[in-house]
Structure 1
Amino acid sequence: MIRGIRGAVVVDSDEALQVKKATLELFEAIMEKNLLNVEDIAAVFITLTPDIQSVFPAEAIREQEKFRYIPILCAQEAQVAGGLKRCIRIMVLANTPFDQETVRHVYLGEAKNLRRDLLGEVES
Structure 2
Amino acid sequence: MKKLTFPKHTEQQFDIAAPSQWRMRGLRGATTVSHNSVEAITEAVDELLDALEANNSLDFTEIVSVTFSATSDLDAIFPAAVARRRPGWNEVPLLDVQQMQVVGSLELCIRVLIHLNTPLPQNKLRHVYLRRAAQLRPDLALLS
TM-score after normalising by structure 1: 0.91
Higher mean displacement: 78-87 or 61-70: 61-70
Q: Tell me, what secondary structure is at the counterpart of 1:5?
A: strand
> 1:104, 1:122 within 8 Å by CA — same for their partners in 2?
no
> Does 1:36 pair with 2:58?
yes
Q: Tell me, what secondary structure is at the counterpart of 1:26?
A: helix
Query: What is the aligned counterpart of 2:128 among 95, 106, 122?
Result: 106
TM-score after normalising by structure 2: 0.79
Q: Tell me, what secondary structure is at the counterpart of 1:23?
A: helix
The gaps in structure 2 that reach 5 residues or longer are 1-22
Structure 1, residues 43-86: CA drift from partner, whole Å, max 9, x if none?
10000000001111111111124211110000000000110000
Where has structure 1 moved over 3 Å in runs of 4 or more? Answer: none
> Does 1:95 pair with 2:114?
no
Q: Tell me, what secondary structure is at the counterpart of 2:124?
A: coil
CA RMSD of aligned residues (A): 1.2
> Does 1:57 pair with 2:82?
no
Aligned-partner residue type, residue 61 of structure 1: A
Who is 2:8 aligned against?
A: none
Instruction: Report how far residue 101 of structure 1 moved.
Output: 1.5
Who is 2:68 aligned against?
A: 46
> 1:27, 1:90 within 8 Å by CA — same for their partners in 2?
no
* Largest Rg, 1 or 2: 2
**Percent identical across equivalent pairs?**
35
Whose helix proportion is higher, 1 or 2? 1
